[in-house]
Every structure is written in structure tokens, then in C-alpha cells.
Homo-oligomer: A and B are copies of this chain.
Amino acid sequence: VRADHPSYGGRHHLPTLGVIGGGQLARMTIQAASRLGVPSRLLAAPGEEAAPALAPAVTWAPLDDTDALHRFAAGCDVVTFDHERVCPDAVAALEAAGAAVRPGSAALRFADKAHQRSVLGEHVPVPLHSVVTGRELAGLGSATDLVVKPARGGYDGKGVHVVTEPGQLRALAATGADDDRYVVEQHLAIEQELAVLVVRSAGGEVATYPAVETRQVDGTCHEVLTPARVDPAVQVEAVRVARRVADVVGAVGVLAVELFVIDGQVLLNEVAPRPHNSGHLTIEAAATSQFENHVRAVLGWPLGPTGLLAPAAAMVNVLGPADGSDPRHRLAAALRVGGTHVHLYGKAPAPRRKLGHVTALAPTVSEALRRARLAGDLLTHTSTPAPVLQGALG
């Protein structure tokens, strides 16, 4: 800071962005910040790989090391997250110490699914549900046709349990403590799942991306299509519900709102106060990516436009193959598929681990999906793929 120059000094200080969490969301957030010339720092937990590989300044600390969190926040102007697994009380302590944490502790409390259901259910339609303790869950005995989610720790759909067999509930309750809380819902016949990203800036501006269609495999978002193939009225209602949710949560930055469509009605599934897998296709398909808009929002800068740049786009996750092989070794084959953008996160392979994603832009959703799947298959299939000619696909 050169205080002797009129355009320098406190008011014109170049902000440093701190990112807590070292996964692929942090990686892509740091990439977006670096394009804007915004310096960033990273606090990563030991073992995290995706973001540390390209962050210029890395602090290594476990997420529950509150002293490390405080020292890290003191070196940043704004602190944000790549996940919602940080304890909201620890974040509240950072705020009390004067740190600008975005989203803040109030928004991070919505990582608790029981909190989501009870607070947001008063404002938008949600599935029929109950919040129960582990003891109560065991007491439900042989009930079936339910969906059970632990209130905490269900990151990335991994904590969603569909109960179809008698005894499953008791077995599930036995994996946790008696006073753990669970959300129990009726197992619904879901027609479609949608996601809407809402961005709220520290300055009060709000922007929404068009609703995308998400397809889950084993409870995890696996494919994303845009525009979502829904009635215009559903598209409008999805955005309306998402904006209402964002107002209630009060998050600064990107908030991902996952929705169910049942009988043409839009119901809230879950929210995540951060950039989200359902928004990765915005990197190439939208006028401003979710990561750039997250950076803009938390720094209090104007948001960028969220419209699509192509008639259609699709994203397919690259999951670690069952044989433990590394998709990076098949990159050359996948790059033969024209019109696709391959993102690999620099993570060691493990079966079903999210190692990357492929986005395709195309004139139609089905063509975009075909291309993204083809490149994804070439990255993850261990059998030698049939030759793919650029001319046929370009």
C-alpha cells in the first residue's frame, strides 16, 4: 500500500480473499479470483489436494483448529468457504473478532438439515417430514418407504438413506449416537430434480441463474442439464422459491437451492451456502461463472450477468473408476470429443471419488449431454474405447 498516492490508501486497498477448505470448489474459486487479479490465501485440511495444487499461499490446519482459523482470518480481508462443514460457532467467533466471513455463521447454520426443514418450511413448500433423535429413529422400527438424512454431515448427498427394508432404520440409528438428529421424510415419487443458484452480494445485489435439471446417481448429483426441460411455469416457480429461500438464509455469495418437482409442484429439497456442483457448467455456459460471481459477491463488488451463452449445455461428473485407475491417463482420448471442456481437479483417484467434470455446449440439451457423456466415458472407462473422430463430433 502506497499511502503517498491519492488512489491508494485504505479506501483503495486491494482485498485478499481467504478460502477455507481445499477441495475442487476452492480450486475453481481461486481460479476465478486469479483471473480477476484478486490475491487469495487458502486454509486446507491435511490431505486435501485439489486447491493446494494451485493456491499461491496455503496454510495447513484441521478445520477444528480454531487458533489456526483466527490467525488465517487475520491475514485476509474476506473469508469464504468451499464447503459447509466448518462449525458455525467457530465462524461466529471469527465474526466476533472482527473478521468479514461470507457467508456468515447464521447462513452456515443452514448446513444442518433439521434447521433447514424447520426454518425454511415456514416460507416455502417442503416435503412432509419429522425431525427425530437417533433413539426415536430406532423406535420407528420396521417402517419403510422413508428417506432419512442425518442433520449434519450429509455433504454431497452421501448422507441420504432410502429405507426400503424393515430393520434398516434400526441399523441406521445404530451407526450414530442416541441424541443425533435426523430428518425423516416420506419417500416421494420425484419427477425431476432442479437446482437454482442464487447470488447475493455483500452490497445487497441479488442475481439468479436459470434453473438447471440435475440427475442423481446414488444420491449424488451426477449430471446437470440447462435449460431444464420443464414447463415455463415450473421454471418461474423454481426461481421464485430459490429467491425466497436465499432471502431467509441471508447468505452472502452463491447459495445453491435444490428442488423437487412432483405433480408440477416445486418443493424445496436442500440448500448449500456455497458454489455447487450443479453450477459447474456456468464456467463455460454462462456470461459469468458461479465462481466469479461468488468472488464478486463476497468482496461486495457488482455481480455479473447470469444468462446462458449457448442454446444448451450439459455437465457430467468424472468419478473415479471402480478399478482405481486415473482418468488423467485417458485425457488424450477424451479430448477428441469436440465442443467439450474437461476439468480435472488434480486429485488422486479412488472409486466413485469426484475427480473432475466435463461440460459440453451444443444446440440442444440432448446433444450437449451426448457429448459430455462421451468424453466422460472416455475418461472413466478402462476398456479401450472405440476410436472417435473429431470430424464426426467436432
Contacts and interface: CB of A to CB of B under 8 A. Distances in A.
A384 B286 CA distance: 30
Nearest to A28: B35
A36 B39 CA distance: 22
Interface residues of A, number: 49
- Copy number in the complex reads 2
A289 to B, nearest CB: 10
A301 B34 contact: no
A31 B56 CA distance: 13
Nearest to A9: B329
A302 B37 contact: no
Contacts of A8: 325-326, 329
Interface string A43-61: 0000000000110100000
A31 B33 CA distance: 12
A63 interface: no
A345 interface: yes
Given A37-B331, A332-B302, A309 B361 contact: yes
Interface stretch (A81-89, A134-142, A219-227, A334-342): A334-342
Q: Which 8 A-B pairs have the closest CB atoms?
A: A37-B344, A12-B329, A7-B325, A301-B332, A302-B336, A302-B335, A305-B338, A34-B54
Given A7-B323, A37-B343, A54-B56, 14 more contacts: A7-B330, A8-B329, A31-B34, A31-B35, A37-B328, A37-B344, A37-B346, A37-B356, A38-B331, A287-B339, A287-B361, A302-B335, A302-B336, A305-B339
27 contacts: A5-B324, A5-B325, A7-B326, A7-B330, A8-B329, A12-B326, A14-B326, A14-B328, A14-B329, A31-B35, A34-B346, A36-B331, A36-B343, A37-B331, A37-B343, A37-B344, A37-B345, A37-B346, A38-B328, A39-B346, A54-B54, A299-B332, A301-B331, A302-B332, A302-B335, A302-B390, A304-B338
